Structure 1
Amino acid sequence: MNRRVIACSFGLLCLSLSIACLAAPAPGETYATPEQAAADPDFALQGEYTGDGVGLQVVALGNGEFSAVTFEGGLPGSGFTGEKADRSVTQVDRNGIKKLIADMSLNKVHRESETLGAEPPKGAVVLFDGTKESLDEHWKDGAKMTSDGLLIQGVTSTDTFRDFTAHVEFRLPYMPEARGQARGNSGLYLQGRYEIQMLDSFGLEGKDNECGGIYKAAPPAVNMCLPPLNWQTYDVEFTAARFDDSGKKVKNARVTVRHNGVVIHDDLEIPGATPGGPLSGKENAQPGPIFLQNHGNPVRYRNIWVVAN
């Protein structure tokens, strides 16, 4: 093949790629702060609403489309019993959401976890308090924080723990066009081995791979995920697995988890380690770190402390 033919072929290939790129849909926006998200008119409509014996979660899906999730009795953790028959989902546009809210005489509410801002008790190891000193002292090399003092995902503590109580505050990004595991994904790994999933699961059913789930082990008793860019809390009581002198496991790890103040796992037995953690393949008697997974989404953390039991 001569040079002219090669050049022509290369030009046609570049033109085809250019057309393909123009035809491909643009990736959805990711908003890491409420200030950024205010640019999207759907952000102001998304959220929780209550009325006479009913709760409504309005979930933005991008481009003026929403999921309207209605709960008989009230919102999850506040009146809704968890019965599937009392939960219904409708897809509507922006005008439809406004009409639904008006027709049902609903008022928007802003819920906060009762443990938000919890002070570390005496003897606690304060892993992160918004200062560079806590970042440098308690997290492995590569850990970063934002200019306004928030811990960035993808960090492993230098401190290790066996049995402990932990408090973690986290904020999920607003990613209206993302779906499933691509929507605000991270995870809190206990001992670097057992994951409590973090995901924008606002308005979803609540599965083991959604917010509050023990990944691949157990779904939360109730989906307590708040709207993205609201601060949320995990309060965890963890008992490590036990091993005999030969290294054989004789008792599984156990955990109680409160998500935004509501018990979603009560002394749950965890059958084994979760993939993806720094010690996932090393379930043994050794203590392990706190690991906050990096799944490529801007999840932020603050006020992290641990009390060894």
Structure 2
Amino acid sequence: MKQLNTTILALLAAAIIGPSSAHAQASEPTDPKATEQWEPVPKVVTPGKQDAAAPSDAIVLFDGHDLSQWEASKEHTPAHWKVHDGIATVDKTSGNIQTKQHFRNYQLHLEWRVPKNITGEGQARGNSGLFLASTGPGDEGYEIQILDSYNNKTYVNGQAASVYKQAAPLVNAMRPPGEWQTYDVVWTAPVFAADGSLKSPGYVTLFHNGVLVQNHTQLAGETFYIGKPKYKPYADAAIKLQAHGDPSAAISFRNIWVRPLD
């Protein structure tokens, strides 16, 4: 009788477990084609002939000839920074400039240079800024710091490649004054609900001279010189370059392009 009971229990267990196990094995793909995806086909984008050159789907914001893609931030009049020898140099008397076109999520390439004979120290040493989303005519928006941080001590969340007053760069990848610096940015804009409340924050990834310095950094809000960052709802915004007031801020720019990612 004991042997019979054992046999019955074994048959019941097989009846319960067996079909489930067989079903699990049957659901596993046996054909490599089962995990192949063929649609949709990614569009073709032709990269630039050099790494820093604009790819075929980019919007060229400055190619060394003119600032026709830019305007004065306050007056919305033509940008009057100095264009010479294929570069644009900050004219602090003309104020900040921003793109005429507005963007949300994007990839941005920008090259900048502080003068070789730069003077000053700390924040008064080649100060400018890249505003990823300009939400006002002044210094409102989300700022990546531009500054000579080559052997120049300052607060770390205010050095080059910092999210200004929010996040220090992972490393200092600054080249010496007089040499060109590159920023390659991926900006994920914040998302706001219909009532203006924040649904998801902004994020930035930044490479400085090819070195990762901000790794999908979450922003706490817009940049403020005094006080904590906070969010203000917006739909899309211009990209802005800052004309800082310090006397050594004759920063030059070249080769600026953007790829909208929306």
Aligning the two structures, in what range does the TM-score lie when normalised by the shorter sequence?
0.5 to 0.7
Q: Check if 1:152 corresponds to 2:106.
A: no
C-alpha deviation, 1:202, in angstroms:
0.3
Distance 2:232 2:57 in 1: 27
In structure 2, what is the equivalent of residue 303 of structure 1? 255
TM-score by structure 1 length?
Answer: 0.57
In structure 1, what is the equivalent of residue 65 of structure 2? 131
In structure 1, what is the equivalent of residue 146 of structure 2? 198
C-alpha deviation, 1:196, in angstroms:
0.6
User: Match of 1:181, SS?
Assistant: coil
Whether the aligned pair in 2 keeps the contact of 1:254 and 1:268 (CA below 8 Å) is yes
In structure 2, what is the equivalent of residue 43 of structure 1? none
Query: How many residues are paired up?
Result: 190
C-alpha deviation, 1:260, in angstroms:
0.2
Amino acid at match of 1:240: A
Sort the Cα spacing of 1:200 and 1:179 in 2 relative to 1 into closer, same or farther, 3 A.
same
Amino acid at match of 1:196: I
Distance 1:125 1:158 in 2: 12
User: Match of 2:83, SS?
Assistant: coil
In structure 2, what is the equivalent of residue 10 of structure 1? none
Identity %: 37
Distance 2:50 2:183 in 1: 9
User: Match of 1:233, SS?
Assistant: strand
Distance 1:219 1:189 in 2: 16
Counterpart selection for 1:121 from 30, 51, 55: 55
Higher strand proportion, which one? Answer: 1
In structure 2, what is the equivalent of residue 267 of structure 1? 216
Whether the aligned pair in 2 keeps the contact of 1:173 and 1:298 (CA below 8 Å) is yes
How do 1:106-255 residues align onto structure 2 when only pairs under 5 Å count? 118-132=52-66, 135-140=67-72, 141-153=78-90, 154-192=96-134, 193-204=141-152, 207-255=156-204
Sort the Cα spacing of 1:284 and 1:143 in 2 relative to 1 into closer, same or farther, 3 A.
farther
How do 1:53-64 residues align onto structure 2 when only pairs under 5 Å count? none
Sort the Cα spacing of 1:137 and 1:188 in 2 relative to 1 into closer, same or farther, 3 A.
closer
C-alpha deviation, 1:243, in angstroms:
0.7
Sort the Cα spacing of 1:116 and 1:255 in 2 relative to 1 into closer, same or farther, 3 A.
farther
Distance 1:176 1:121 in 2: 33
C-alpha deviation, 1:282, in angstroms:
7.3
C-alpha deviation, 1:231, in angstroms:
0.3
Distance 2:128 2:157 in 1: 14
4+ aligned runs moved over 4 Å, structure 1: none
Distance 1:182 1:211 in 2: 13
Amino acid at match of 1:219: A
Sort the Cα spacing of 1:282 and 1:170 in 2 relative to 1 into closer, same or farther, 3 A.
same
Post-superposition CA distance 1:88-140 (Å, at most 9, x none)? xxxxxxxxxxxxxxxxxxxxxxxxxxx986111122110000012xx124434
User: Match of 2:157, SS?
Assistant: coil
Amino acid at match of 1:308: P
Counterpart selection for 2:205 from 230, 236, 256: 256
Amino acid at match of 1:146: V
Distance 2:121 2:70 in 1: 33
Distance 2:110 2:220 in 1: 23
Whether the aligned pair in 2 keeps the contact of 1:164 and 1:239 (CA below 8 Å) is yes
C-alpha deviation, 1:175, in angstroms:
4.8
Whether the aligned pair in 2 keeps the contact of 1:233 and 1:259 (CA below 8 Å) is yes
Amino acid at match of 1:118: A
